[in-house]
Each structure stands twice: as structure tokens, then as C-alpha cells.
Amino acid sequence: MTRRAICSVSCVALLTFFSATNAQGQQPHRSVTEVSMKNIVEGVLLVIMLAGAIGGVWNRLKLGKGIGLRFIQYIGLTVLVPIIVILSLEGRISQEMTGAIAAAAVGAVLAGIGKDE
């Protein structure tokens, strides 16, 4: 089950990163040596997302603990925030939608923080 979760998170991250198109729906023409700051930021976010998800699962397995509420909140923030930023940078979602999705994601993850302590 853990391996399946890691594979699904990795597939979503890779599809989000590599399915970028411009506003007209065409693949942008890039030379091999052209690297923009947007590509660097997206690559860093992809690494953060994968490292956070894989590191979190590895930590749970190493400590022999199960998947609890805090771990789900951690994975939610580690994976959702970079995906939202990448989609926004690629122009797939508008600025208003980015703010609404980010607020909803953070609000849902942080809503029950004080109740379970």
C-alpha cells in the first residue's frame, strides 16, 4: 500500500510538471540550452514534493508508526502546495483560483490542529 501511494504521488507530480502548455494549448518551443527561472522553480518544487512525500513515508516505516492525522496533514501540505504553485506558474489556473485553492487547502489541513493535542 505504501509503495502504491508513493507511485501515485510521483505520477501526479511528474504529469503536472511535464504536461505544461502555453495559453494557446501548444507546447512551447524551447532550445536545449534555454532554462528559465520558472523551470528552475518548478524543478525545485517537484523535488520538494517528492522528497517530502517519500521522506514522510520512509520515516513512518522506520519508526514503525502508522498513518495518523498529523501525517495526513503533513503529506497534504507537502504535496498540495507545490502542485498549486506549479499549476499557477504554468497558467493552468488563474490567480483568483490559486488563492482560493491555497486558502481552502491550508484551511482544511490546519482546521483541526488544536482539537487533537
| Residue 54 per-residue DSSP state | H
Other CB atoms within 10 Å distance of the CB of residue 47: 12
Q: Classify 20 as helix, strand or coil.
A: coil
CA distance 73 to 113: 9
Evaluate whether 79 touches 50 at the Cβ level (below 8 Å).
no
pLDDT band at 90 (very low <50, low <70, confident <90, very high): confident
**The overall pTM is greater than 0.75:** no
Domain boundaries of the chain, sorted by first residue:
2-17+35-110
- Look over the chain and give the mean of its residue pLDDT values, rounded to a whole number: 74
Q: Which three cell numbers stand for residue 19?
A: 504536461
Q: For 8-17, how does the pLDDT look when each residue is reduced to its tens digit (9 = 90+)?
A: 545 444 444 4
Evaluate whether 83 touches 102 at the Cβ level (below 8 Å).
no
